[in-house]
Chains A and B, each alone.
Chain A
Amino acid sequence: MSQIFEDSTLGTLTWRPTPWDEKVFGLNTVEILDLNCSTEEKGGKLLQQFQDTQEIGLLYGRFDASDQFLKKVLLADGFFQCETALSVRKNKLATNELPKLVKGRELELQQTFREGDEEHIIEQSGKMYNFSRFHEDPFINRKDADKRMSNWARQLLESDTPVLFHRDKKKNITSYLFYTKEGSEAHMLLGGSLPGYGMYAPFFFGGVLEQFKSLGIKAIKTSLSAANKGILSLYITLGFNVTSTKSDYHKHLIHK
C-alpha cells in the first residue's frame, strides 16, 4: 500500500514498503513511487528528510527515462541507475499473423499442472533469469536476485495466477508464462524458457500469441529489460511496440 511523505515547503514523496524484497535481501527496502518537488534543491532535501525518518537499507524507484529533472535529483542524492525497463504492447491480436520464422513451429501449450510441476517452476525460476532490476544492480549478489525471482514465481502460483506452459517429450516443462487478463487485454507477468531451452523461446511465444488469440485477447502488454536484447528482438519480431522507457534508480544505505 502506498504512503505519502510530505513537507509543506519541499514537496511530496509517494512510497511503499516492499516486504517481499526485504525477505530476500535481509534489510529494509522501500520503493519510491513518485517524487513531486519544484526545484532540485527541494527534491534533495525532501529525499534526505525521508531517509532520516525511515530505517532504510535499500531505496529504489522506477521513473520515466526522459525525466532529466528527477534523474538529476536522484543522482545528486547518491542514487545510481540500474535497469532500463521497456514497456511493450501488441495490439490487434485478433488479426495477428505470426511471422514466417515462427508460424507452424509454435509450441503446444498446457494449463494443467501435474504433481511436482509447481515446485519445478519455483526452483527453475531461481536459475533462468539474467535481467531484472536487481540482477542488474552490481551491489546485489546474484543469489539474492535469483531468489527473488523464485519467490515471485511461488507467490504467483499461490495466488492461482493463470499460467501457460510447454512440456517436452520427457514431460518436462521447458517454458512457462504467468499472465493476468483484464477484459480483452493480457498482461504477461513472468515467463521464459527454462535453462537449456532458451533457443526455443520464439516458438514458445508464438504458441502464447496463438493461445491468447483463441482466448479472445486483443492486446498484450509486458515489460522487459533493455539489456535483454534477445527477448527484445523477439518481441519486435512478433509485432510488439515499445510504449515507454523507464530507468530504475537504486540507493544502498546499508551494504550487506
Chain B
Amino acid sequence: MDIRNHIISTYNEVLSYTDAELQVEELANDTVLLESGLDSLGFATLVAELEEELGYDPFVMMDEPIYPTTFGEFVELYETYKDEKN
C-alpha cells in the first residue's frame, strides 16, 4: 500500500474509534485538516498510529517545524520523510 492510501486507511480507522465522521466527501489534497472530521486529539491519535504502522514520525524527525494545514500537505510530509527513516 502506498503512503497516501495507508494514511487514508488509518485516518478512517481513527475516525471510527473516536466516534467522529468525515466532514467532507473525500480526503482530497485541498481538504483542510481541521475541517475534515478529526479534532486535534484525533489528529494526534492519527500521528501516533501512523508512527506505529509506518515506523516513523515526521513531526519528531523534522529539524525545523513545518505544519501541514491540508491533507495533501500532510501526505507530502510523510512522503518526504519516508526515505529518511532509514
Contact = CB atoms under 8 A, between A and B. Distances in A.
B33 to A, nearest CB: 5
Contacts of A104: 57, 60
Which size bracket describes the interface of B in this complex? 10 to 19
Q: Is chain B's binding surface mostly helix, strand, loop or mixed?
A: helix
Nearest to B47: A105
B67 A202 contact: no
A203 B59 contact: yes
A189 B69 CA distance: 26
Contacts, number: 62
B40 interface: yes
Given A101-B45, A105-B57, A105-B59, A196 B69 contact: yes
Contact of B41 (A108, A169, A193, A237): A237
A197 B69 contact: yes
Given A104-B60, A105-B57, A199-B34, A230 B40 contact: yes
A98 to B, nearest CB: 11
Q: Is chain A's binding surface mostly helix, strand, loop or mixed?
A: mixed
Interface in B35-70: 38-41, 43-45, 47-48, 57, 59-60, 64-67, 69
A200 B48 contact: no
Contacts of A233: 39, 41
B65 A107 contact: yes
Given A199-B33, A202-B40, A169 B60 contact: no
Residue among A101, A102, A108, A174 with max Cβ neighbours from chain B (10 Å): A101
Contacts of B65: 107-108, 166-169, 174
Contact of B60 (A105, A174, A201): A105
Contacts of B57: 104-105
A100 B48 contact: yes
Contacts of A197: 67, 69
A229 interface: yes
Contact of A199 (B40, B60, B66): B40
A248 B65 CA distance: 39
Interface of B: 33-34, 38-41, 43-45, 47-48, 57, 59-60, 64-67, 69
Interface of A: 100-102, 104-105, 107-108, 166-169, 174, 193, 196-203, 229-231, 233-234, 237
